[in-house]
Amino acid sequence: MEYTAKPEAAAIHPGQPLDAVADWQQDMQTAIRSLDTLLTALALSPRDVAVSRAAAEQFPVLVTPAMLARMRPGDPRDPLLLQFLPRLEETFSQPPGYGGDPVSDSAALRGEGLLQKYAGRLLAISTGACAVHCRYCFRRHFPYSEQHAGAGRWQGALTLLRDDPSLHELILSGGDPLMLTDRRLAALLEPLAGIASVRRLRIHTRLPVVLPSRIDAGLAALLTAFPRALVVVVHVNHPRELDTAAAAALSRLRHAGALLLNQAVLLRGINDDLSTQMTLWQTLADAGVMPYYLHLLDPVTGAAHFDVPEHEARALVAALRARLPGYLVPRLAREIPGEPAKTVLA
């Protein structure tokens, strides 16, 4: 995975408020990229936790400074750490049904980096880069370097959208689409606004939370200028991911006109208890983010230790439903290859 080259670097003027010069690409340069640095930063020794160097080689460690700052030093069971820590369990033999392409992305390709599985929605894998590497990620084995539509390759997506007016929504996915520079995003948004049949733009991103500095004034201006409905689906799994910096980034997106939704993945040992789930969806609502999906784990090789069985997940959501307003209960969903939509279980 590589990061986009540094763009039109903003000049730093003395006296400018800090926020105006916060540079997300500089933040990325200080991200943690090795298992040892991560353990040292959290005052953990490899004896405290069963880590796997082989797993770290296969899918490298990547944690942003903002995410690291929320982790509890000395706690090998910290639910934030466990999302990013290469554990020995990743190398264990996996149950039947686990594989490298669990949701059949390869079968849904409509062009380079372009997937269509569901009516009216075209999904563009706009970059392979992310700001963090989540161990349970269903795309951890996806051949990003061959399949992405970004980096000056928007033409394919724009042509498809122009030729097929049944496509009402473009979904930017990845990787993380906000890892693209403002200039690259502008190169998509401007021509997109000229295609009348595209009514909505949706952005799936973890950056408002894991790299809040990315939601800078330049990005906000770009999104504010986009003349169609804008939906931003963030990905927060645990309430402790939401600190004041994340809340400020989310607020900026709302002020840029985005409808904010959250999708979480139900993960063993991280957010599979009622109290964490209650706090998660309520804290998100405090930040102006409504629930979307609570996903069951996709059976991707190396992630089986995160799995929560369906009957347990259903009971958890039923308990949430008994305690929270209906609009704060996420849809429990699983992706079954070949179905016309994601399968909602509760």
Three-state SS for 277-321 is HHHHHHHHHHCCCEEEEEECCCCECCCHHHCCCHHHHHHHHHHHH
Q: How far is the CB of 34 from ligand SF4 (least distance, A)?
A: 17
The CB-of-133 to ligand SF4 minimum distance in angstroms stands at 5
Site string for ligand PLP, 167-196 (x = CB under 6 A): ----x-------------------------
Identify the burial level of 93 via C-beta atoms within 10 angstroms of its C-beta, where 0-12 means exposed, 13-18 middle and 19 or more buried. exposed
180 binds ligand SF4 (CB under 6 A): no
CA nearest 151: which of 300, 277, 301, 1? 1
Q: Residue 252 or residue 295: which is nearer to ligand SF4 going by CB?
A: 295
Q: Choose the one of ligand PLP, ligand SF4, none that binds residue 76, judging by a C-beta under 5 to 8 angstroms depending on kind.
A: none
Amino acid (1-letter code) at residue 234? V
β pairing state of 169-173 and 200-205? parallel
**Count of Cβ atoms closer than 10 Å to residue 183 Cβ:** 12
Quote the CA–CA distance of 343 and 72 in Å, as a whole number. 36
Size of the site for ligand PLP (CB under 6 A): 9
Q: Binding segment for ligand PLP among 20-28, 114-122, 212-220, 278-286 (CB under 6 A)? A: 114-122
- CB nearer to ligand PLP: give 41 or 108: 108
Residue from 88, 240, 342, 346 binding ligand PLP (CB under 6 A): 342
Is-contact 189 158, C-beta < 8 A?
A: no
264 binds ligand PLP (CB under 6 A): no
What is the rounded CA–CA span in Å between residue 26 and residue 35? Answer: 21
Task: Give strand pairing partners of 125.
Answer: 173
Q: What is the DSSP string of 84-151?
A: T--BGGGGSPPPTT-BSSTT-GGGGEEETTEE--STTEEEEE--S--SS--TT-TTTT--TTTS---T
Which one of 22, 49, 108, 278 is in contact with ligand PLP (CB under 6 A)? 108
- Minimum distance from CB of 261 to ligand PLP (Å)? 9
336 binds, among ligand PLP, ligand SF4, none (CB under 5 to 8 A by kind): none
For 168, what's the count of Cα atoms within 13 Å in the CB-facing half-sphere?
6
Question: In this chain, which of 38, 85, 130, 300 binds ligand SF4, going by CB under 6 A?
Answer: 130
Instruction: Report if residue 132 touches ligand SF4, rule: CB under 6 A.
Output: yes
Residue 123 interacting with ligand PLP (CB under 6 A):
yes
When CB distances are held under 5 to 8 angstroms depending on the partner's kind, the choice from ligand PLP, ligand SF4, none that residue 137 binds is ligand SF4
Closer residue to ligand PLP in complex, CB, 17/338:
338
- Whole-angstrom Cα Rg for the chain: 20
| Binding residues among 148-177 for ligand SF4 as defined by CB under 6 A | 174-176
Q: Which two tokens stand for residue 90?
A: 């990743």
Q: Which does 108 bind (CB under 5 to 8 A by kind): ligand SF4, ligand PLP, none?
A: ligand PLP
Please say whether the beta carbons of 149 and 184 come within 8 A: no
With binding defined as CB under 6 A, does residue 203 bind ligand PLP? Answer: no
133 binds, among ligand SF4, ligand PLP, none (CB under 5 to 8 A by kind): ligand SF4
173 residue type, one letter: S
Residue 176 binds which entry of ligand PLP, ligand SF4, none, CB below 5-8 Å type-dependent: ligand SF4
- Footprint on this chain of ligand SF4 (rule: CB under 6 A): 130, 132-134, 137, 139, 174-176, 206, 235
- Footprint on this chain of ligand PLP (rule: CB under 6 A): 108, 115, 117-118, 121, 123, 171, 341-342
